[in-house]
Amino acid sequence: MPLHEVIPPAAIARRVAELGAEIDARLPGGPLTVVGVLRGAFIFTADLVRAIPRELTVDFLGVRSYGDATVSSGVVEITSDLGAPIAGRHVLLVEDIVDTGLTLRYLLDLLRARGPASLHVCALLAKPAPAGNAVALDFVGFPAPDGFVVGYGLDGRQLYRNLPGINRLAE
Ligand code: IMP
């Protein structure tokens, strides 16, 4: 399938560095857990935590929202839970791409119920939120490019996660 790079690796690296500084400046002091959403955010999370110059722990939440289709099913399944409690900790949830926001809304409710001291969201890519369905995003890397995108952790039918840049996948 033809691929067209829309965000090159160097642009991602620059933006990740900015995000790390922004996050460090805006998040309250105190214990911080960065929670990456698997699998799409694994590379972004790995880069982002190295750009946040403070003490933190890293955890992951395994989620399946699309199955192998490219259209949101609205069904979110937790395939792997956090390794440690987040009560009383500041939590930064790291997502790959926010489309309808259904996945994110579900995850925020789940995490909020566990009593974190604060809960913020950082998404690498965000599509414009449909009216009435907005989920507040605290930090966004880039507006999501048009079409279905893969690479830098994002998959199309489980492929292309290893591409270093963000690519549009043409059917
Ligand atoms: P939402 O629940 O509609 O916001 O969908 C979010 C999830 O769908 C993301 O975490 C991705 O796993 C997946 N997704 C949505 N759009 C894309 C895309 O363009 N490429 C790859 N995955 C996507």
Q: Which residues of the chain have pLDDT under 50?
A: none
> Residue 52: its pLDDT value, please?
98
> Residue 128: its pLDDT value, please?
82
> Residue 72: its pLDDT value, please?
62
> Residue 76: its pLDDT value, please?
84
> Residue 130: its pLDDT value, please?
64
71: Cβ–Cβ under 8 A, 6 or more apart, which residues? none
Active site residue 99: yes
CATH class (in words) of the domain with range 3-65+78-169 = alpha beta
Domain ranges of the chain: 3-65+78-169
> Residue 1: its pLDDT value, please?
75
Buried b (16+ CB within 10 A) or exposed e, 51-71: bbeeebeebbbebbbbeeeee
- Candidates 158, 128, 143; CA nearest to 64 is 158
Question: Among 94, 96, 106, which is best to mutate for testing ligand 1, by the most ligand atoms less than 8 A from CB?
Answer: 96
Q: Give the separation between CA 131 and CA 21, rounded to whole angstroms.
A: 30
> Residue 94: its pLDDT value, please?
98
Distance 30 CA to ligand 1 centre (A): 31
Instruction: Identify whether the C-beta of residue 32 lies closer than 8 Å to the C-beta of residue 92.
Output: yes
